[in-house]
Amino acid sequence: MGKISVISGNTSKGLARRIAKKLNATFIPTETTNFPDGESKITLKKIPKKGIILVIQSTSPPVDTNLLQLLSMISQARKFSSKIYAVIPYMGYARQDRSFLGGEIVTISVVAKMLETAGAKKIIVVDIHSKTALKYFKIEAENVSAIPKLVNYFKKIKLKNPLIVSPDTGGSARAKEFAKQFNTDFISLKKHRNRKTGKVKIQSSKMNIKNRDLILVDDMISSGGSIIKATQFLKKQGSGKIFVACSHAILIGDAEKNIRKAGVKEIISTNTILGRTAKVDVSDIIAKSIK
């Protein structure tokens, strides 16, 4: 493949180091200073070599700040090579892939244009919230799945007659794939979200989950509202232990505390976003996609 350089942003330093090691690439750390008004100033600590340059940065909260830092690093890398891959383990704004109410802006389309204009020739993401979002990219866009890694983690846990659960019908395909690799069955809950208030209500579900251990599978958890509602509903049905598996644990505010309070035994996520729940490493699947 030739020489590879890995530029690491603030949000993905540990993951970027692991990827660089697996690719035998030159690791280029960055130093970020913040001005009193919130502006970021980024300095590359080494000069990238010609060849493929990976710029690795999750656009986790604060999303706008981390997105602008990513764009800045891509723009700087473009001065040294034309082969710039933006590795965005967690892609913010992917939920804004269509207009649900009149006048709403499809922001992911704006993000796609900015990444291309900055100089990215390809983007690599992990379990993007919406495959539809990828259609807005005119450059090559690849989505890699962390499901096999999460499944392997849960195979090491002793579970009683496990059942995979999607907190909504929109995540059915994800839960089905997880269940297939886990060699068990799955169900999807039906929920309704008020587009104006954001409140979630479980409408109905016919199932027999009594005394079965459950794994709630989702791509991302932000406030945890859907997971909490699902957990409370499942507990009332007499379920056994409830675990949560997700690729991206954003966990805003007291989300983790509230999820545990609702009855979840453990939250397991990947290291696309740093945190206490990030127990599954995805550096190898990202490195493999680049190879």
Average pLDDT value for residue range 244-259? 97
- The Cα 67–Cα 108 span in angstroms is 12
Residue with tokens 């696309």: 272
Strand positions, DSSP E, the chain = 4-8, 26-28, 30-34, 40-44, 52-56, 83-88, 122-126, 140-144, 163-166, 186-188, 190-193, 200-204, 214-221, 242-249, 264-270, 278-280
Residue whose tokens read 């999820």: 259
Distance of CA 284 to the CA centre of its chain: 15
CA 289 to chain centroid = 16
94-125 pLDDT per residue, tens: 999 888 888 899 999 999 999 999 999 999 99
Give the torsion sign (CA, 168, 257, 12, 14). negative
The pLDDT, as a whole number, for residue 166 is: 94
Q: Is the peptide bond before 62 cis (omega within 30 degrees of 0)?
A: yes
CA distance 192 to 184: 27
Helical (H) or strand (E) element with 154: helix 147-155
Q: Average pLDDT for residues 80-95, to the nearest whole number?
A: 96
**Does the structural domain 147-271 have CATH classification 3.40.50.2020?**
yes
Indicate the length of the chain as a whole number: 291
| CB atoms inside a 10 Å sphere around CB 201 | 11
Q: pLDDT (tens digit, 9 = 90+) per residue, 3-14?
A: 999 999 999 999
Does the structure show a pLDDT above 70 at 151?
A: yes
Whether residue 206 is predicted with pLDDT greater than 70 in this model: the reply is no
Under the banding of pLDDT at 50, 70 and 90, the label for residue 203 is low
DSSP state of 19: H
Partner residues linked to 244 by β-bridges? 216, 267
Q: Give the 3-state secondary structure of residue 104.
A: coil
Domains 4-145+281-290 and 147-271 share a fold: yes
The closest of 149, 123, 136 to 271, measured between CA atoms, is 149
CA atoms of 63 and 112, how far apart (whole Å): 15
pTM score = 0.92
Structure token digits, residue 110: 């704006």
Q: Identify the helix (H) or strand (E) that includes residue 230.
A: helix 225-236
3-state secondary structure of 182: helix
Average pLDDT over residues 63-69: 97
Spell out the domain ranges in the chain: 4-145+281-290, 147-271
Whether residue 245 is predicted with pLDDT greater than 80 in this model: the reply is: yes
Residues with active-site annotation: 191
Residues 6+ apart with CB under 8 A from 256: 224, 249, 267, 276, 277
Quick one: average pLDDT of 130-140?
A: 93
Lowest mean pLDDT among 27-36, 93-102, 122-131, 185-194: 185-194
Q: Which residues pair with 192 in a beta bridge?
A: 201
Residue 2, pLDDT > 70, answer: no
Does residue 204 carry a pLDDT above 80?
Answer: no
Per-residue pLDDT at 40 exceeds 70: yes
User: Which position has the token pair 């291309």?
Assistant: 116
At the topology level, CATH places domain 4-145+281-290 in: Rossmann fold (3.40.50)
